[in-house]
Amino acid sequence: MEILGLSIPELARLLRDKKISSQELVSFYVDRIKKHKKLNAYITVLEDAVEIAREIDEKGIKNDDYILRGIPYSLKDNMLVDGVRTTCASKILENYIASYDSTIAKRLKDSGAVLLGKTNLDEFAMGSSSENSHFGPVHNPWNEACVAGGSSGGSAVSVSAGLAQFSYGTDTGGSVRLPASFNGLACLKPTYGRVSRYGIVAFASSLDQVGPMARNVEDLAIAYDVVSGHDTMDSTTSIKNKESLYEYLVKEIKDKENNFTKRTIGIPKESLMKGASKDVLSSLEESKKLLSKMGFNFVEVDFPNLQYALAVYYIIVTGEASSNLSRYDGIRYGYRAKDYPDLKHLYSSSRGEGFGDEVRRRIMLGTFVLSAGYYDAYFSKAAKVRTLIKQDFEKAFEKCDSILMPVSPSVAFKMGEKTKDPLEMYLSDIFTVSVNLAAVPSLGFPSGTDKEGLPIGMQLIGKHFDEKTLFSTAWMIQKQKPEWFNNIATTAKEKR
């Protein structure tokens, strides 16, 4: 039986009809993980995953069980799972074993989904290529000489290469959307506060948000439904009611498509698209034409303060990172240097040896912008401009229901191409960081490939807590362009 390419609902039906067992399904994915070890998508593969699946089979899967029961998935290795190693791809946490479950992990366990393992990432989620890992870089399965995107590169590759059915990453400035775009996946960066951050290793607390990745829109909706919603363990989660987006897609939307196609989509001014490659701009036009044929209206929107977004983002994100990472001191937990003459050198040696180059760079930048002499000149001013960027989005949404723009100015680039120039690497996030600064949701979807066969991704940006509009639009795009979705990476297909 061909498992690759099937959706979660299709697999769930097979499990309930006893045409396949969860043990067989999980074993299939574990075998593929071993076969594609060179992609370096996983840091830790859970040896007991097959046993957990066997126990699920023994108890049986009933028709009224949650749809994810018995379905395998992966988690980015900055999300705590009780009794499992959580490294954040850093030497400083190389041997850290979590003592409790993150809310994400708990909700997935309660659903009956089976965790295959923890995926590779840029160290402490700091990067755009998944090359900054203590455990080595993640390779793009569409072209192994190219990067996977970051920081959630391992999560994206695990789905794109058929090493998990779905996965989760964290998006601080594009870290779910960028790797999903580079790997031909659908993904969601939810509204800030829609998904709990409890048990997620903090990078920049006012920006971090967990988001799912999948090969199609219905799988994405299911993966989002199971983890979203208020959590008493995270005071930043919203108490707003939420509905099942999967049920909405399969039950309600079919009768209401005519209403949806009367919506208006905003397109940023051409000047804001500077730096995007010809292939990316061509893909944007193709997506626009497709939506236009479906009946959507378009309006040009302006973001006067978007030119400052990248600078504002890197001031805020490094400042918050500097504060959050101060807990790694070689005393409480994590790596400790062997030789140190006094307490001061214990701190500096443990952190200097335990953190990689990019993490050290961001800690130093963050410490600088938070320092007494420079706080007002940098961090305080960036916070004010962040408010202006949020207001730009609010004004744009007075004219439209959602905004369409590329995820990245380019397709996946070659390994090592940008590692020597941090500023060039940071520009990879130019179309994504503003979404995090404004705390609005963004749904990324695959929009074909370039001439070399590398995936291109677009994103639909929505109003606060209006994920429903994004899903309904993406659902209709998928119906019109099914060839953009449900793809397994080319090199992974060849090595089945």
Which 3-state string (H, E, C) describes the chain? CCCCCCCHHHHHHHHHCCCCCHHHHHHHHHHHHHHCHHHCCEEEECCCHHHHHHHHHHHCCCCCCCCCCCCEEEEECCECCCCCECCCCCHHHCCCECCCCCHHHHHHHHHCCEEEEEECCCHHHCCCCCCCCCCCCCECCCCCCEECCCCCHHHHHHHHCCCCCEEEEECCCCCCHHHHHHCCCEEEECCCCCECCCCECCCCCCCCCEEEEECCHHHHHHHHHHHECCCCCCCCCCCCCCCCHHHHHHHHHHHCHHHHCCCEEEEECHHHHCCCCHHHHHHHHHHHHHHHHCCCEEEEECCCCHHHHHHHHHHHHHHHHHHHHHHCCCCCCCCCCCCCCCHHHHHHHHHHHHCCHHHHHHHHHHHHHHCCCCCCCCHHHHHHHHHHHHHHHHHHCCCCCEEEEECCCCCCCECCCCCCCHHHHHHHHCCCHHHHHHCCCEEEEEEEECCCCCEEEEEEEECCCCHHHHHHHHHHHHHHCHHHCCCCCHHHHHCC
Residues designated as active site: 76, 151, 175
